[in-house]
């Protein structure tokens, strides 16, 4: 993955403000933070999608991301944190190396997720839940 910018950070080829590293993952400051202290947690191994990241690595990403969230939350200016992961271009993924955002949040940080809420028609939610539920077991077997 010669051109991947996050692989270059893992390999030390370009600098990053690292906050955590172990044998599986690296965490560093996002270069364009939503709030100061915004961190990215990435697997050392290159995966475009989080869906192919091995379970132990994905588990470590979540554990470390949530603990970084706690550390950030303890700062005076923050009260909470969001974990965010964009998987695919339509979802907003720009860097094609899976990464989890840890975004520290303050009550008065003046940032709003642009989150909408549609309504289901009668029966639509049940049909959709049944369709998805019927496909998950097979998807769990995929590499």
Return the number of the residue (51 or 124) whose C-beta is nearest ligand AMP: 51
Give CA–CA dist 4/52, Å, rounded: 17
Nearer to ligand AMP, 24 or 86 (CB): 86
Residue whose CB is less far from Zn ion, 47 or 105 = 47
Q: Which does 31 bind (CB under 5 to 8 A by kind): ligand AMP, Zn ion, none?
A: ligand AMP
* 99 is a catalytic site residue: yes
In the bound complex, which residue of the shown chain has the CB atom lying closest to Zn ion? 4
Rg (CA), the chain: 17
Beta bridge partners of 63: none
| Helix/strand/coil for 62 | helix
Q: Output the CA angle 63-54-56, nearest 5 degrees.
A: 40
Among 38, 60, 97, 105, binds Zn ion (CB under 5 A): 97
Rounded CA gap, 6 and 15, in Å?
A: 10
User: Which residues are catalytic, by number?
Assistant: 99
Residue ranges that bind Zn ion, judged by CB under 5 A:
1, 4, 6-7, 46, 97
């Amino acid at each position: 993955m010669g051109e991947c910018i996050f692989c270059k950070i893992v390999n030390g080829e370009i600098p990053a403000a690292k906050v955590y590293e172990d044998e599986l993952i690296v965490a560093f400051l996002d270069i364009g933070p939503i709030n100061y202290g915004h961190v990215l947690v990435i697997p050392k191994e290159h995966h475009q999608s989080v869906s192919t990241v091995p379970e132990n690595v994905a588990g470590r990403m979540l554990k470390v991301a949530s603990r970084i969230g706690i550390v950030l939350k303890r700062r005076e200016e923050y009260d909470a944190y969001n974990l965010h992961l964009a998987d695919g271009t339509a979802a907003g993924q720009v860097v094609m190396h899976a990464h989890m955002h840890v975004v520290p949040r303050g009550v008065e940080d003046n940032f709003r997720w642009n989150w909408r809420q549609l309504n289901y028609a009668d029966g639509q939610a049940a049909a959709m839940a049944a369709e998805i539920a019927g496909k998950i077991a097979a998807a769990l077997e995929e590499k």
